[in-house]
């Protein structure tokens, strides 16, 4: 059993493992774009026919990349690790590794009659991930920051992350009304979370 002293300053291993998971998740996204078989028809037309897959791939790649950036930002503040952090981080990575599935479903049905439930699944995945991010950060900010922690920075990060669950839930609700508008809001949230916390709080 790992004792608390041996867990001190073990965040480097957590970050390295997490980086690998993020890398695998973004790599899996491209596998959903299929190569047209030779002799199966006009290649240009078949490539253009896959436009929903291209859109979903680019958006989800950007989203996972931004989540990775935020994960890195969090761990610049977290100075030590314990068993709770390990499991909370695994919970977050569970959400990250799930992203390729709703991305594939959304790409398959974007523009079709089933695009609404596909969009709800897609936005709902990010809603769950936003909750995981908040749980991870709230626990870490209370228990695992160093004595020289920047209080104003941690407050700004908490304020920025608090927006996530509410707004991603709004994306789910908007999908019932308009899938394109819900997707635009989701993209806007990605831009919001790409901003450093001090700029994001001002933008909010």
**Averaged over 106-116, what is the pLDDT?**
90
Q: Within a 13 Å sphere around the CA of 48, how many CA atoms are in the beta-carbon half?
A: 5
Dihedral of the alpha carbons of 134, 137, 57, 166, in degrees to the nearest 10 = 20
**pLDDT over threshold 60, residue 1:** no
User: What is the 3 state secondary structure string of 33-98?
Assistant: CCCCCCCCCCHHHHHHHCHHHHHHHHHHHHHHHHHHHHHHHHHCCECCCCHHHHHHHHHHHHHHHH
Q: Tokens 């981080």 sit at which residue?
A: 89
Domain extent listing, the chain: 8-203
Q: What angle do CA 95, 50, 67 make, to 5 degrees?
A: 25
- The answer to whether 175 touches 116, Cβ cutoff 8 Å, is yes
Place 5 in a pLDDT band, splitting at 50, 70 and 90: very low
Place 31 in a pLDDT band, splitting at 50, 70 and 90: confident
**pLDDT over threshold 70, residue 113:** yes
- The answer to whether 118 touches 171, Cβ cutoff 8 Å, is no
Place 6 in a pLDDT band, splitting at 50, 70 and 90: very low
What sign does the CA torsion over 191, 188, 65, 111 have? negative
**Averaged over 103-115, what is the pLDDT?**
91
Place 203 in a pLDDT band, splitting at 50, 70 and 90: low
**pLDDT over threshold 50, residue 8:** no
The model's pLDDT over 14-29, given as tens digits with 9 standing for 90+, comes to 999 999 999 999 999 9
- The answer to whether 168 touches 123, Cβ cutoff 8 Å, is yes
φ, ψ for residue 143 (rounded to 5)?
-125, -20
Rounded Cα–Cα distance for residues 31 and 54 (Å): 11
Task: Enter the pTM of the model.
Answer: 0.85
Joined together, the tokens standing for residue 150 give 């920047």
**pLDDT over threshold 90, residue 111:** no
Q: Within a 13 Å sphere around the CA of 139, how many CA atoms are in the beta-carbon half?
A: 16
**pLDDT over threshold 90, residue 35:** no
pLDDT of residue 146: 66
The model's pLDDT over 62-88, given as tens digits with 9 standing for 90+, comes to 999 999 999 999 998 888 889 999 999
Nearest CA among 122, 18, 5 for reference residue 71: 18
The model's pLDDT over 123-174, given as tens digits with 9 standing for 90+, comes to 999 999 999 999 999 999 988 786 677 788 888 999 999 999 999 999 999 9
pLDDT of residue 74: 92
């Amino acid at each position: 059993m790992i004792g608390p002293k041996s867990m001190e300053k073990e965040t480097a291993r957590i970050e390295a493992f997490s980086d690998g998971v993020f890398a695998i998740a973004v790599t899996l996204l491209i596998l959903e774009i299929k190569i047209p078989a030779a002799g199966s028809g006009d290649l240009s037309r078949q490539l253009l026919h896959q436009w929903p897959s291209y859109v979903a791939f680019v958006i989800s790649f950007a989203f996972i990349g931004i989540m990775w950036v935020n994960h890195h930002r969090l761990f610049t503040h977290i100075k030590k690790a314990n068993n709770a952090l390990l499991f909370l981080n695994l919970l977050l990575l569970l959400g990250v590794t799930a992203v390729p599935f709703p991305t594939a479903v959304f790409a398959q049905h974007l523009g079709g009659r089933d695009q609404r439930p596909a969009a709800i699944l897609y936005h709902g995945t990010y809603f769950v991930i936003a909750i995981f991010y908040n749980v991870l950060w709230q626990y870490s900010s209370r228990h695992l920051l160093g004595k020289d922690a920047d209080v104003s920075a941690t407050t700004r990060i908490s304020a920025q992350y608090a927006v996530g669950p509410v707004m991603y839930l709004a994306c789910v609700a908007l999908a019932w009304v308009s899938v394109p508008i819900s997707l635009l809001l989701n993209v806007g949230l990605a831009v919001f979370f790409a901003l450093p916390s001090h700029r994001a709080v001002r933008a909010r």
